[in-house]
Chain A
Amino acid sequence: MTDTPATRAAKATPVRVARKIKGLSDRAIAWIFVGPTIFLLLAINIFPLIWTINLSFTNFRANRPNREVDYVGLRNYERILTDSDIWLNMQATAHFLFWTIFFQVLIGFTLAYLINKKFKGNDLWTTIIVLPMMLSPAVVGNFWKFLYQPQIGLFNYIVAFLSGKDPSSFEMLGSVQLAPWSIVIVDTWMWTPFVMLICLAGLRSIPDYIYEAAEVDRASKLRQFFTITIPMVLPFLMLAVLFRGIENFKMFDLVVQLTGGGPGSTTELTSINLKREAFEKWRTGYASAYAIILFVTVFGLASIYVKALNKVKER
């Protein structure tokens, strides 16, 4: 037998010592091991979820806990779904989602494709590129706010330098037209490496012999790209989009620090709006219904998407 840690450990422990301790049954161990985790998840995730569902049918306000609580049925849901302001928030979220994913996929895939050319030092540069996505989004949002300052910010200075405009002639965070793009830029800066890493894993999973076979068949490089590279990377890319989609649908910290939802409510994503309803206006019941609607939306969209993803994988 080979010298594995197990055999080494076995040799080190006299058999009679080991036999003295009567072990628990596997079944008991399984439940002891899983139990605490399940309990914690029930306490921190499921119980609150059920409570939220319950609250969503009431007119409870958390800042007046002693006031009598009435059950209002589906009225909260009705009001949310017919509120035109909330559709504006949904639109802001959709804009943010679509463009961040668009740019991150485009740039992320391109970078991965280039890194996969295996130039010298590619590991080092990959590590450097990856840094932004591991940082605290709130702190990132805060320092990008500094970069975006119209008079003193580096971003405005560089854009002005390249375009010949006056750096104080545009406000990235203060203008209704630019603010939605300023949050897209920061999110793209931060999360492109995420898409890049997943694409890179996809590219590296393609075995060389497929390209060799294509070469023998005299398929052009362009054709190889569209008939081998793209389809093989697609499941990975779709997974990256799923993760980014869920994350950005929940987006709160980065944007709240950058714009606080403003100017007006142009960058007020659903999470920020939800925070206002729940913790500033203290409409707890209403906000609970809102939270449930958001959860169902993410969950529904994600489930449909995963089905599509599995179909692509099977092909």
Chain B
Amino acid sequence: MSSFSVTEPSKRSKWFAGTLVIVYALVTMVPLAWIMLTGFKSPSDAISYPPKVVFEPTLEGYVNLFTTRTRQTDEFLAANPPETWYDEIVREYDMVIAGPSKFGERFLNSVVIGFGSTFLSIFLGTLAAYAFSRFKIPLADDLLFFILSTRMMPPIAVAIPIFLMYRQLGLSDTHLGMILLYTGVNISLAVWLLKGFIDEIPLEYEEAALIDGYTRFQAFYKVVLPQAATGIASTAIFCLIFAWNEYAFAVLLTSGTAQTAPPFIPTIIGVGGLDWPAVAAGATIFLLPVMIFTILLRKHLLRGITFGAVRK
């Protein structure tokens, strides 16, 4: 391309556009930055007026997030000096650490259910997507549309019969129940996205392999799967993020054993109401992995969020 072009924006308009976009980006980051800062504040700094930007950072929020504490008498505190750094932090409030809080458990549930349902969605989704892409399946278009339309139901509407069904089957508040449920919701996304990725792999590769004596199945996993690896990986991240973020089913169908982090974080109560630094710490730990994944995914983001309807 020549250095002068009618479609190339002028320097001034680039500068102008850049400034506006950067200002928007900075403003939009304020809430996120604020919540991350709040995680490192003491409870009194967190609710001070005017809001404090400069403060003495403390890990109190994180300690409170992961522990339960009890108040103790002065004699007890004097007789038992603090043993660890986190013990020392809670001593300031005449408290001792009583044990771990439920957060670790809930976070682990999010990991197990997230990865479990992602694995299952990708496994089933890849097979189905390959079949839809390569074979003539009767009513394929209708089936695909049906798979998509299942996403139009409000989750609460689906939750009513699932709630009854799970109660009958003993799947309420179990990891398996949640994994199956999230797989059922995610599989539509997985099939649509993966079909798009597999459609893009030229048929010639498989044909060559078939001529060379491969069976269909060998051609599928030795030729198609390696070619679709990037697509599979980004689809997996989308499924994982969905399961990770899901709230409605989690709050209605789980209460203890299998509860994930999103319904748990807003319920972290401290002395005199919500313990905002602990809530903020929980939110930070919970949101950070998704932010990292989003940055890794940026090239396929559009495709994932539009069910493959828009491909760059």
Chain A positions within 8 Å of B, measured between CB atoms, are 1, 4-7, 9-10, 13, 15, 18-19, 21-24, 26-27, 29-34, 36-38, 40-41, 43-49, 51-52, 55, 62, 111, 113-115, 117-123, 125-139, 142-144, 146-147, 149, 151-154, 157, 167, 189, 194, 197-198, 201, 204, 208, 211-212, 215, 236, 239, 243, 246, 249-250, 252-253, 257, 270-271, 274-275, 278-279, 284, 287-288, 291-292, 294-295, 298-299, 302
CA distance A201 to B150 in the complex (A): 26
Chain B residues near A126 (CB-CB < 8 A): 298
Chain B residues near A27 (CB-CB < 8 A): 135
CA distance A128 to B245 in the complex (A): 19
CA distance A120 to B15 in the complex (A): 9
Asked if B257 is at the interface of the complex by the 8 Å CB criterion, the answer is no
Select one of A113, A115, A204, A291 contacting B312, CB under 8 A: A204
List residues of B (277-296) whose CB comes within 8 Å of A's CBs.
279-280, 283, 286-287, 290-291, 293-295
In the complex, which residue of chain A has the Cβ closest to the Cβ of B153?
A: A295
Whether the pair A23, B312 counts as a contact (CB closer than 8 A) is: no
* Chain A proximity mask over B154-185: 1 for CB below 8 Å, otherwise 0: 11111111111100000000000000110111
* Contacts between the two chains (Cβ within 8 Å), count: 330
A209 to chain B, nearest CB (A): 9
Whether the pair A129, B152 counts as a contact (CB closer than 8 A) is: no
Select one of B25, B51, B219, B302 contacting A129, CB under 8 A: B25
Whether the pair B252, A279 counts as a contact (CB closer than 8 A) is: yes
In the complex, which residue of chain B has the Cβ closest to the Cβ of A194?
A: B305
CA distance A250 to B283 in the complex (A): 24
**Interface class of chain A by DSSP:** helix
Whether the pair B131, A29 counts as a contact (CB closer than 8 A) is: yes
B109 to chain A, nearest CB (A): 14
Whether the pair A136, B290 counts as a contact (CB closer than 8 A) is: yes
B286 to chain A, nearest CB (A): 6
* Chain A proximity mask over B241-267: 1 for CB below 8 Å, otherwise 0: 100111110011000000000110110
Chain B residues near A115 (CB-CB < 8 A): 17, 21
Most A-side CB within 10 Å, residue of B32, B160, B263: B160
Task: Take A44-B181, A137-B247, A152-B48 as given contacts and tell me if A121 and B18 are in contact as well, using a CB distance cutoff of 8 Å.
Answer: yes
Task: Take A36-B127, A41-B147, A278-B159 as given contacts and tell me if A157 and B50 are in contact as well, using a CB distance cutoff of 8 Å.
Answer: yes
Most A-side CB within 10 Å, residue of B131, B154, B294: B154
Select one of B29, B154, B164 contacting A291, CB under 8 A: B154
Chain A residues near B132 (CB-CB < 8 A): 34
In the complex, which residue of chain B has the Cβ closest to the Cβ of A293?
A: B157
A277 to chain B, nearest CB (A): 9
Whether the pair A139, B184 counts as a contact (CB closer than 8 A) is: no
CA distance A279 to B220 in the complex (A): 46
Asked if B107 is at the interface of the complex by the 8 Å CB criterion, the answer is no
Asked if B301 is at the interface of the complex by the 8 Å CB criterion, the answer is yes
Task: Take A21-B215, A24-B217, A128-B25 as given contacts and tell me if A143 and B152 are in contact as well, using a CB distance cutoff of 8 Å.
Answer: no
